[in-house]
Structure 1
Amino acid sequence: MVKVKKNLKRKRAEVTEPSDPEPLPAVRHSDEPIQKKRKWTNKQRVLVFASRGINHRDRHLMEDLKKLMPHHKPEAKMERSKTLSVINEMCEMKNCNKAIMFEGRKKRDLYMWLSNVPNGPSVKFFVENVSTMAELKLTGNCLRGSRPLLSFDPTFNKEPHYSLLKELLTQVFGVPKHHPKSQPFFDHVYTFTILDNRIWFRNFQILSEDGALAEIGPRFVLNPVKIFSGSFGGLPLWENPHYMSPARYRQQVRLEAKNKYVNRIQQKATAEATRPGGDAYELTPLDDIFKETTGKRAIGR
């Protein structure tokens, strides 16, 4: 009997003990969708710097490109005595996998290097017809840090070296999606057009959905010189047969001007030698110089 009573007490205690309350569902006070945490997967970082010897216009062009590229990292000027292979170590210290290096020569010529660090390839361009944003004073404008659309000429898909340049330009100038310093929309477009074996760069603002554009700037033309297999070096994969160095071009201009002067002197000498002789062409230098003046004075008196 005692055991039965103890069992009954235990059952009553189990029945009377309150059970654990079930968790209530979370209540949302907003109809907006839940924002998911997105990861920044395309981690392209571009090191933008210059070597010593560039002029003020080239420096302003570099600053304009920095403003348009929120995924860039700055660096101080590189000494001209250092070799280009040092740039790979600089990119490694800055945790960058792309590099843009401006190289100035004679305070007038500008070269631009684009490289995929550390395995390559790398391209050397000669920059022509530079116009910065401050010089142009165009009406277009874009929000700083916004992502650009990249528009390429159909010729980029026809030649193998242009296809390589298209891929490299896309990785360098394209702003990664969900970059911390970028804006999540597109409001301007980069156009890369091939004309006269050169790449023409333009930057336009997208005004409306119907395709209206307004140029922002800067402007410049890239004349490709060589494509190398490595980063800032290696075997040359392609060389531009139409490229002429600016020093040689200026030398040819001077020779043409010299030839024009020599031809003009020769034409004068030939004309003097072939002119027919005779009294009709001989002039007396002091013949009847004061006749008219003496006559007038006599009448006045």
Structure 2
Amino acid sequence: MIIQIFGTPKEHRHSKPYHDHVFVFSIVDDHIWFRNYQISVPHNESDKVARGGLDKMTLIEVGPRFCLNPIKIFGGSFGGPTLYENPLYVSPNQIRALEKKQKAGKYSKKVKAKTRRKMHELSNPLEPDEFADMWKEQ
């Protein structure tokens, strides 16, 4: 599947008879990380490197660099039996719904607290204060 996506078609007019790039696919944190490296040879030497001269070659990351988070892999193209389903994936719609529920829960807590306070005030009335009229002018 990866060769079909990232490979150069056979006898394509921009294809080259040599390899100058390396694609790296690694799986870290349940994501597929993609890196693109260029094989570099020092320019002060001759253009061709001997077969055993791999120690003179270096890899330089040229990009692009991206991360894939597969959700589902189907048996066919865009359909068919599900071969893989990511159990850790949470859709943005579910995240928005949870945020909306939390905001609604916050408001309902305020309303419930207000009604509890009213019920408490009605069940426990204040006693009349005998000194309330002491400083009023007559």
Alignment equivalent of 2:12, drawn from 143, 164, 179: 179
**Equivalents in 2 of 1:250, 1:214: separation in Å?**
41
Greater RCO (Cα-Cα under 8 Å, separation 6 or more): 1
Return the letter of the residue paired with 1:191: V
Check 1:243–1:215 CA distance in 2 against 1; reply closer, same or farther (3 A cut): same
Corresponding position of 1:229: 75
Specify the SS of the correspondent of 1:224: coil
The Cα offsets for residues 213-249 of structure 1, whole Å up to 9 and x where unpaired, read as 2211112111111111222112222211111113334
The Cα offsets for residues 140-174 of structure 1, whole Å up to 9 and x where unpaired, read as xxxxxxxxxxxxxxxxxxxxxxxxxxxx0122212
The Cα offsets for residues 172-195 of structure 1, whole Å up to 9 and x where unpaired, read as 212245433212111111111101
**Equivalents in 1 of 2:96, 2:24: separation in Å?**
30
Corresponding position of 1:202: 35
The Cα offsets for residues 96-130 of structure 1, whole Å up to 9 and x where unpaired, read as xxxxxxxxxxxxxxxxxxxxxxxxxxxxxxxxxxx
Q: What are the residue-to-residue correspondences of 1:30-179 with 2, within 5 Å?
A: 168-179=1-12
TM-score, length-normalised on structure 1?
0.27
Q: State the superposition RMSD in angstroms.
A: 2.8
Corresponding position of 2:135: none
- Structure 1 unaligned spans of 5+: 1-167, 263-301
- Structure 2 unaligned spans of 5+: 42-53, 110-138
**Equivalents in 2 of 1:188, 1:253: separation in Å?**
45
Cα shift at 1:252: 5.0
Specify the SS of the correspondent of 1:199: strand
Is the Cα contact below 8 Å between 1:178 and 1:184 reproduced in 2? no
Task: Report the structure number with the largest CA radius of gyration.
Answer: 1
**Equivalents in 2 of 1:214, 1:177: separation in Å?**
26
Number of aligned positions between the proteins? 92
Corresponding position of 2:23: 190
Check 1:223–1:206 CA distance in 2 against 1; reply closer, same or farther (3 A cut): same
Matched-pair identity in %:
51
TM-score, length-normalised on structure 2?
0.54
